Structure 1
Amino acid sequence: MITIYDIAEKAGVSAMTVSRVINNTGRISEDTRKRVRKVMEELNYIPNSAARSLVSQKTNILSLLIADITNPFYTTLARGAEDAAKKAGYRLLFANSDENYAKEKDYVDMMLSTRVDGVLFAPTGDLSVDNLNRLLQHQIPLVILDREVPGIEADIVLGDSKEGAKTLVEHLVSLGHRRIAMINGSPDVSTARLRYTGYREALVLSGLPMDDELVVHLGFRVFHEDAALDALLTLKDPPTAIFAANNLLAVGIIQSLRERGLQVPEDISVACFDDIGPAEMINPFLTVAAQPAYQFGLLGMQLLIERIEAEAAQPPRKIMLPSDLIIRSSTRELQRKETNDGAEG
């Protein structure tokens, strides 16, 4: 293995001079610096990042912790974060909590032991407060993505979950739907609470009653709750449309409906929060409130790097990104009833 002593001998300088070139410290002539770097290239020498971090107190490593790597929203977000980190000269460690608090805690332990310079963090939910506080207590720069956590003061990039949900439900109402079910994430997650609020507000503003039988709170992962769907479909007055609080739920719901011989949108309309990635481009189908996932990662990483490199403390910053209503073929207008419902005479 090539060492700094091998570099020093071939370049005709001291090992201390090689160390200063590697760590960009001390006064060294430009000729000497170039000579040392040339020898490093000739010998294919790769500096020990751990040793360098002991000198500089900086690893140039950032971490991105996402909640569910199977969700296209998070994979696109990760691309934005990676692009911004690379452009700024940082390396990025990826971690995936699978919406699991204990797994999230293990990754926080890893981040602390790795001495990352900063963390981009998509929390599992409100329970993440302890994990986030551990990072803050160790003075690790932090930016939160997608979900707010009560009690945490940090930079954050959010989507407008309430308005996006409201817009989707208003679209369903405009198509003539009056019985609109909502299959939501856990109430322990801020986005689930806000999307429920948007759903409820849209119904109220449309003059429709709020029926608790039409609301199911599950998780944000792939839908496997067939019993919950059966309960909705067997109501005395079943829904004509379903609002799924995220894309994974929507895909699972549509699959379960088809297994029951029901077609979307002929038998029931389905709309959801977040697009489903490249598959949607090949066969455009789902009506969605699409969030700019790439921008979440890009802007979040830019905030994080600014926080790391800032010379003075700044108050926490908050960026709210709107969603776009994209109307596709998974929703349809209800046909007017042939009868006049007692309007004759």
Structure 2
Amino acid sequence: MPSLLANPGSPSIKDVAQRAGVSTTTVSRVLTDADAVRPVLRERVQQAIAELGWRPNLAARRLRQRTTSLIGLVVADIRNPFFTAISRAVEDMAYAAGLRLILCNSDENPAKEQSYLELMADERASGVILAPTLEFTERHQPGHWPFPLVMVDRAPQAAATDAVLLDNVGAAGELTRHLLAQGCRRIALLAGSHSTTGRQRQAGYEAALREAGLPPRVLALRPDAQAGQDGAARLLAEPAGTRPDALLATSGLLLLGAWRAARAAGLALPRELALAGFDDNDWTTMPEPAITVLAQPTEDIGRSAAELLLQRMAEPERAPRRIVLQGQLLVRGSSLRLG
């Protein structure tokens, strides 16, 4: 039986045009702007595509267009539940807007981050949401990349770039003042060293201690659980009279490491050690006592970042916006020494 296609093998746009009885230009217009084609022709083209099982050559189409229906999301560590939740919110928004999403994990590695941003440029992405490394924020120049950029969770203080952030200084100050109110006086901070977020939370912690006339003690660490555990273990190995009576962690993974170190040291929470930190991850309610945290509005952060990107794509010349959201202090047994 002879082939129904214009050419044997995989169907092409010419095959679709022949089956629908239209030009290849009409097929392209259906793919790129279906509303610009008369309904009867659009239906014929769509039926021909379905019958032939044809998939357009997206790579070739990108070469003819300045942008695509694709956006990128580059996070620091997809294993961190904070970034997992943000990714889910961004993906939901992208799906609703008919956009494809490429998710990349930088591992806090500037070279890897640069490689992924170059990939987005090569793919002609319509925009990118980025949780930048510290190195990126220090060298960032608005307009450097050929796509709109929205920073999430981290951003330079004065950057003229769309960004969605937590009030990190205020949140860390609130956590520190809570520990002070419980009678803690030797509060040590496990601070992430790879982002502006860690620095801002350190600033809030130090400001609260200055108000109380107490000295800060900061360990700058890679923001993962093992680094948090190792750092906390060093602090907790000190003599009882000098070791911290409270540990505060600037991320959920550092907090997990600190809790593991406290458990390994056999210290009773909160009598011998008060513990608190950022991110209301599922595990924080499982220990006895449960862990005091500053909960971040992760869904709102991801959704707001996606909304900013969509707005920027629609209005390239509008002024940059910076959205600063508030967290919620959830006081639990790990820090309740009084009352």
State the TM-score, normalized to the length of structure 2.
0.89
Q: What's the RMSD between the two structures over aligned residues?
A: 2.3
Equivalent-residue separation in structure 2 for 1:77 and 1:227 (angstroms): 27
- Displacement of 1:150: 5.7
Match of 1:102 among 108, 111, 117: 111
Q: Secondary structure of 1:116's match? A: coil
Partners of 1:233 and 1:239 within 8 A in 2? no
Equivalent-residue separation in structure 2 for 1:24 and 1:246 (angstroms): 45
User: Partner letter of residue 321 of structure 1?
Assistant: L
- Displacement of 1:228: 5.7
Name whichever of 18-27 and 6-15 sits farther off: 18-27
Equivalent-residue separation in structure 1 for 2:220 and 2:192 (angstroms): 5
Q: What 5-or-longer segments of structure 2 have no aligned partner?
A: 1-9
Q: Secondary structure of 1:192's match? A: helix
Equivalent-residue separation in structure 1 for 2:210 and 2:49 (angstroms): 69
Task: Indicate whether 1:318 and 2:327 are aligned.
Answer: no
Equivalent-residue separation in structure 2 for 1:20 and 1:304 (angstroms): 26
Task: Indicate whether 1:125 and 2:134 are aligned.
Answer: yes
**2:188 maps to what in 1?**
181
Task: Indicate whether 1:196 and 2:199 are aligned.
Answer: no
**Aligned pairs for 1:111-150 within 5 A:** 111-130=120-139, 132-133=140-141, 136-149=143-156
Equivalent-residue separation in structure 1 for 2:116 and 2:273 (angstroms): 41
Per-residue CA distance 1:181-201 (angstroms, 9 max, x = gap): 111111x62212221121122
Name the CA shift for 1:232/1:41 in 2 (closer, same or farther; >3 Å): same
Equivalent-residue separation in structure 1 for 2:283 and 2:278 (angstroms): 16
Per-residue CA distance 1:8-43 (angstroms, 9 max, x = gap): 221122223222222227964321121111211222
**Aligned pairs for 1:244-283 within 5 A:** 244-276=249-281, 278-280=282-284
Match of 1:234 among 235, 238, 242: 238
Partners of 1:49 and 1:59 within 8 A in 2? no
Name whichever of 321-330 and 120-129 sits farther off: 120-129
Equivalent-residue separation in structure 2 for 1:197 and 1:28 (angstroms): 58
- Displacement of 1:129: 4.3
Q: What 5-or-longer segments of structure 1 have no aligned partner?
A: 336-345
Name whichever of 77-86 and 108-117 sits farther off: 108-117
- Displacement of 1:289: 0.8
Equivalent-residue separation in structure 1 for 2:259 and 2:165 (angstroms): 27
State the TM-score, normalized to the length of structure 1.
0.87
Partners of 1:246 and 1:274 within 8 A in 2? yes
- Displacement of 1:164: 0.6
User: Partner letter of residue 297 of structure 1?
Assistant: G
User: Partner letter of residue 223 of structure 1?
Assistant: Q
Q: Secondary structure of 1:199's match? A: helix
Equivalent-residue separation in structure 2 for 1:56 and 1:201 (angstroms): 51
Per-residue CA distance 1:78-133 (angstroms, 9 max, x = gap): 11111111111111000011111121111112111111110101011144444x44
Partners of 1:161 and 1:195 within 8 A in 2? yes
Partners of 1:50 and 1:59 within 8 A in 2? no
- Displacement of 1:136: 2.7
Partners of 2:13 and 2:24 within 8 A in 1? yes
**2:219 maps to what in 1?**
216
